[in-house]
């Protein structure tokens, strides 16, 4: 019998894995996915939803979002919240690229304003923002300065001349989680992070110049400062080797911890420790530090994006209105308050390949956006659209204020290189009027849009289920990849 035979459809695009599926489940599994996505979803990802539901202290649901696919321990596109009283912390619920996230910058430019300068703009972005596997940033940190980056994040970057003070207002957590502690980050992680600060990296990370083509909610788009025809820039990257090493370091510690605390887990990749244990608290502080590194990284890239536009267009960035619309984290654990059985409860929310989508009224949302809900940024794949949505009350009730983070992979990078050629992809992009610059032909093939789920379907599912509502659609004009 297939696991799918045990899943009940409770409304359009919403499914439940009952607790009876596995006698060790402590919560129901909940999937937000359309019929086609459900049909094609690998059973391993569904098993991972059920496995997460077995962890101590889990609250309400183990959740799979519209872009769900198989991951390390937790599925990618997964959310789970735990009580601090009897719950756990698991690095598998965050993953290796801590605070991989997306930032969007608005402008007052149109495509006509930049059309004749597109090649120069793309070259400038590629030159000014280092990218590629093992890429190194173009700054040299002073002795022990990496600790300030880890402790203060984007605030450190702004104080050191990378960007504007008002940028911080429009970053999740204002670009700095105060409980971060650089002393909990290993020397090896710091050594990996020092040369890579201010670089894009490789894989699915990118910088795109985009155009707003469709507005679905005029009122909220106006609040976010988005207009049809506007040029925007999207940055997608994370904590680089620093975050990867933090995850690796603490997975080893958690592998010992779950045995020490006699926690029964269905999968070793779910290695964890009780929330109030030294192991869990040390991981949290190190993970927050890596998240701060990622916010500093995106802040520095924002600064160089503005410089590139200034140099090519001979205009001041502020005159081009190059402010940050918002910045979201995709891989992170947060300590948040949510309603459980009618009472506000402090919870430990794991989001892995998931975007926070807080509804109206939450204090965590910038004051300018608070009445309409948090901006939600869901990037597409190379050559496809990306979307801006807003958080909802339904998300607060059902998904701990969370929705999808992107299209979600269908093919491994190895398989994508077998199925697609960079030449074919470049021709396809050219036919759509999209320019591309990448460090290698392989990365173009690995990131073919056919290697991912349909972003339009993922976003539509978020919208129809109400866990985030569509505000605007943007399409790429030019993209640079590592």
Catalytic residue positions, numbered: 405
Q: Which residues of 87-100 are buried (b: 16+ CB within 10 A; e: fewer)?
A: bbbbbbbbbbbbbb
CA distance 288 to 98: 9
- Residues in the chain, how many? 482
- Residue 364's CB is within 10 A of a number of other CB atoms, namely 15
**Helix, strand or coil, per DSSP, at residue 347:** strand
Give ∠ CA 261-266-269 in degrees, rounded to 5: 80
CA distance 430 to 410: 24
Q: Copy the structure tokens of residue 242.
A: 């620093």
From the number of C-beta atoms within 10 Å of its C-beta (0-12, 13-18, 19+), residue 460 rates as middle
Strands 469-481 and 435-438: parallel
CA distance 205 to 201: 6
Instruction: Give the sign of the dihedral formed by CA 273, CA 346, CA 289, CA 300.
Output: positive
Q: Which residues of 309-319 are buried (b: 16+ CB within 10 A; e: fewer)?
A: bbebbebebee
């Amino acid at each position: 019998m297939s696991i799918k035979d045990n899943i009940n459809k409770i409304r359009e695009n919403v499914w439940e894995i009952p607790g009876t599926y596995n006698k060790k489940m402590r919560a129901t599994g909940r999937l937000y996915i359309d019929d086609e996505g459900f049909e094609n979803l690998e059973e391993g990802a569904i098993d991972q939803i059920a496995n997460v539901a077995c962890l101590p202290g889990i609250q309400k649901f183990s959740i799979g979002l519209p872009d769900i696919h198989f991951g390390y321990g937790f599925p990618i596109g997964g959310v789970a919240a735990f009580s601090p009283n009897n719950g756990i912390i698991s690095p598998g619920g965050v993953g290796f690229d801590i605070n991989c996230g997306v930032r969007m910058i608005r402008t007052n430019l149109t495509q006509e304003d930049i059309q004749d300068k597109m090649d120069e703009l793309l070259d400038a972005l590629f030159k000014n923002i280092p990218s590629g596997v093992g890429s190194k940033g173009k700054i040299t940190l002073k002795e022990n300065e990496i600790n300030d980056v880890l402790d203060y994040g984007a605030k450190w970057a702004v104080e050191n001349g990378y960007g504007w003070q008002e940028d911080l207002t429009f970053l999740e957590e204002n670009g700095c989680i105060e409980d971060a502690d650089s002393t909990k980050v290993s020397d090896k992680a710091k050594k990996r992070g020092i040369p890579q600060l201010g670089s894009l990296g490789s894989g699915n990370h990118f910088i795109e110049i985009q155009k707003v083509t469709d507005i679905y909610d005029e009122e909220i788009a106006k609040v976010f400062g988005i207009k049809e025809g506007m040029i925007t820039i999207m940055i997608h990257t994370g904590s680089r080797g620093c975050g990867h090493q933090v995850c690796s370091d603490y997975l080893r510690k958690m592998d010992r911890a779950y045995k020490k605390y006699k926690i029964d887990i269905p999968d070793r990749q779910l290695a964890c420790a009780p929330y109030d244990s030294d192991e869990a608290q040390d991981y949290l502080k190190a993970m927050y530090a890596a998240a701060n590194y990622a916010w500093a990284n995106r802040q520095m890239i924002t600064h160089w994006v503005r410089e590139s536009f200034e140099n090519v267009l001979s205009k001041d960035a502020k005159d081009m209105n190059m402010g940050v619309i918002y910045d979201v984290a995709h891989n992170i654990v947060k300590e948040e308050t949510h309603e459980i059985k009618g009472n506000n409860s402090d919870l430990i929310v794991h989001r892995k390949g998931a975007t926070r989508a807080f509804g109206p009224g939450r204090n965590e949302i910038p004051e300018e956006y608070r009445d309409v809900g948090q901006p939600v940024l869901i990037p597409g794949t190379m050559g496809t659209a990306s979307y801006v949505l807003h958080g909802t009350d339904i998300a607060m009730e059902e998904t701990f204020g969370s929705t999808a983070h992107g299209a979600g992979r269908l093919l491994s990078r190895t398989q994508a290189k077998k199925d697609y050629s960079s030449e074919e992809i470049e021709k396809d992009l050219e036919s759509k009027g999209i320019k591309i610059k990448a460090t290698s032909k392989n990365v173009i093939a690995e990131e073919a849009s056919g290697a991912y789920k349909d972003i339009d379907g993922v976003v539509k599912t978020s919208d129809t289920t109400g866990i985030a509502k569509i505000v605007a659609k943007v399409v790429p004009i030019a993209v640079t990849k590592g």
